[in-house]
Chains A and B, each alone.
Chain A
Amino acid sequence: MFTEFFYLLRAHGLPVSVNEWYTLLEALQQGLAGASLTSFYHLCRAVLVKSEAHYDRFDQAFARFFAGVESPEGMPEKIWEWLDRELPEDHVVRQLGELRQYDLETLKKMLAERLAEQQEEHHGGSYWVGTGGTSPFGHSGFHPGGIRLGGESRNRSAVKVAAERRFAQFRDDETLDTRQFQIALRKLRQFTSRLDGAKTELDIEATIKETGDHAGRLTLVWNRPRQNAIKVLLLMDSGGSMLAYSRLCNQLFQAVNRSTHFKDLRVYYFHNCIYDWLYPDAACRQSTALSTAHLLRTMSPDYRVILVGDASMAPGELTRPGGIIEWGLHNEEPGYVWLERVRNHFEHSVWLNPIPASYWEWVEGAYTIGLVRRVFPMFELTLAGLEQAIRQLKARAACG
């Protein structure tokens, strides 16, 4: 029966592996789950789930598999009204030991029977469905093995702790898995020991030679550790048409941003195409704009340039003076000229396009994509595309 739970977890998007499943079975064999569903729940979660971002999905799957979830639709409207009422004063519960523990099936059956009997709302007390008290049904009460019906849990012993979904806020739909991109970006490095820094590495070869030259008197030779000399300039399109790809671009941005191995990393934004101005944040506000010409003057040509954009725009934005999409701005020179200027200043540059390569000939912006491709080598923004792009960026004798 358990194997179904395994597949249910995977169906809920949890990356549970067979290894982890075996670990769980081993734990169960050792009797680590104890006798209660709650400790079984904790055991499963500790062994199978490896990120708080997945806790919520696990809770849902668990609740679905083991309890059929408390479903608000399935419960008579009236009961919800009773339960929504104010909580009365806490009664001190003395005879907790006498309260019977029921299994889930019995509880469900009893609940059904009791609902059939009960005609009014109850708060406190030990039998009817309501808030407080020690009846196994309702919320805010205390019963060692009762069913909590909605409301807030005060004592955490109800077996359906999973249905609370306490970890909903940690879901990773927003935080992105950037590791693969990061690994790809690691290949973008070029080691050199010519940079500044303390000499901390022992150069064995040179030490032996020097020691020999000094007639056996030990002479230690130290080297600077090798460091990555690569500097990166990331230029991102933040135009309206890029909205559809914001998740993907975000992923790339985070990966680049977290890659600590670059000597320098600069990120600027543009809107559809590069003109006289670049912007330090995605909002592209004119008040914070930086002159593109100034940046080109001040940045050394050995920066590796990664442009990210869909390259889809009206042809005029690329080819005409004044073609800039921004209202109230004017460009003396067409965007095309600026792109070529960027291309010519830097030794290595690539364009990453979030539109899949197989669509480039067919999408709305096919014409401008074609134009941009004449200036920059273009790759699709996928893992494979990024790897190709990085190979291009590392090639030493690129035209420029």
Chain B
Amino acid sequence: MAASFGRFRGSSTYIVSEELSNSVNVAIALKKPLLIKGEPGTGKTMLARSIAEALGMRLLVWNIKSTSKAQEGLYVYDTVQRLCDSQFGDNDVSDVSRYIKLGKLGEAFVSPEQVVLLIDEIDKADLEFPNDLLWELDQMSFYIPETKQTITAVHRPVVVITSNAEKELPDAFLRRCIFHYIEFPDAERMKEIVRVHYPNLEKKLLEQCLETFYWIRSLDSLQKKPSTSELLDWLQALVLGGISPRRMGEEIPFLGVLLKKNQDVEALLWSLQHPRGSRRPQFHGR
């Protein structure tokens, strides 16, 4: 395994910090799930996509909802279909395995080649959900009583789990994971990220935008700070709207793309009228 260590270095559309790529590689080498936390919009979900792309593997996504059960990730036994079939004699009903539908985790196990499995937003589910998956993630196998069959992973999938910290995860589960917290990128890294998405963006405009963006983020009064994805949307809006860097220096156009809450917009306007300290960019003609 050591030979393949360090395989992940980010991909053409996704910039990773060295810390993050280290964590990914450690998780792969130690064959443990990688738990990713971070502010919304720091690219947690994108990471799995990027790992799959960089390692040339297929990506399976298991989106967790508040109603998700751990069992659904393994398999679902479609009783109703079987009953219907028995009525109309369409299929061979005596073959139970026809009615066992594998979930995302099951799918990842039986896949003939190694895959990346993303368990997205695990904290959305019930409190006990992560505990219910402990054995399966540890042993990489589960038993289907209906068919008396044990599904064992052909290749241990690379498991990436994301969490928005809406709920705390159980200790037993955490102990088995490699953990990484994605920090909000600083201005330098943000420039790289923007470059990946908009290679032709005018340098002056970008700098002007980032200055404004990080100033807005530094306001304590905001309920929801704008994130990377909002910045990217905003930049696109600015480019499409043909905003010149000069105008950027005087006002904040398309503010609604950055701030989604009325209170936040008001808080920002208030801060503009009551400047404190020198961190605020100078909004006047130059």
Contact = CB atoms under 8 A, between A and B. Distances in A.
Contacts of B180: 46
B219 interface: no
Contacts of B175: 17, 19-20, 50
B5 A32 contact: yes
B237 interface: no
A30 B87 contact: no
Contacts of A50: 35, 174-175, 177, 179
A194 interface: no
A218 B22 contact: no
Interface string B80-100: 100110110000000000000
B179 A46 contact: yes
A258 B176 CA distance: 25
A46 B23 contact: yes
Contacts of A46: 22-23, 26-27, 178-180
Contact of A204 (B79, B167, B181): B79
B104 to A, nearest CB: 21
Interface in A45-61: 46-47, 49-52, 55
Nearest to B22: A42
A47 B178 contact: yes
Contact of B2 (A15, A31, A51, A218): A31
Contacts of A15: 171
| Count class of interface residues, chain B | 35 or more
Main secondary structure of the interface of A (DSSP, over half): helix
B229 interface: no
Interface in B169-212: 170-171, 174-181, 183
A42 B66 CA distance: 33
B86 A27 contact: no
B267 interface: no
A30 B79 contact: no
Contacts of A47: 26, 30, 178
A26 B127 contact: no
B32 A23 contact: yes
Nearest to A166: B183
Given A32-B29, A218-B83, A177 B168 contact: yes
Nearest to B5: A32
Contacts of A186: 127
Contact of A178 (B5, B168, B181): B168
Contact of B127 (A17, A167, A182, A220): A182
Nearest to B38: A52
Interface in A154-213: 166-167, 170, 177-179, 182-183, 186, 202, 204, 207
Interface in A25-79: 26-27, 30-32, 39, 42-43, 46-47, 49-52, 55
B87 A217 contact: yes
B269 interface: no
Contacts of A218: 83-84, 86-87
B240 interface: no
B45 interface: no
Contacts of B29: 27, 30, 32
A202 B19 CA distance: 49
A218 B79 CA distance: 12
B5 A30 contact: yes
A260 interface: yes
B37 interface: yes
Most A C-beta atoms less than 10 A away, residue of B2, B26, B176:
B26
6 contacts: A15-B171, A32-B5, A42-B23, A186-B127, A207-B83, A258-B167
Interface of B: 1-2, 5, 18-19, 22-23, 25-27, 29-30, 32, 35, 37, 66, 79-80, 83-84, 86-87, 127, 167-168, 170-171, 174-181, 183
Given A26-B30, A166-B183, 11 more contacts: A23-B30, A32-B29, A46-B179, A51-B37, A177-B168, A186-B127, A207-B83, A218-B83, A220-B80, A220-B83, A258-B167
Interface of A: 15, 17, 19-20, 23, 26-27, 30-32, 39, 42-43, 46-47, 49-52, 55, 166-167, 170, 177-179, 182-183, 186, 202, 204, 207, 217-218, 220, 258, 260
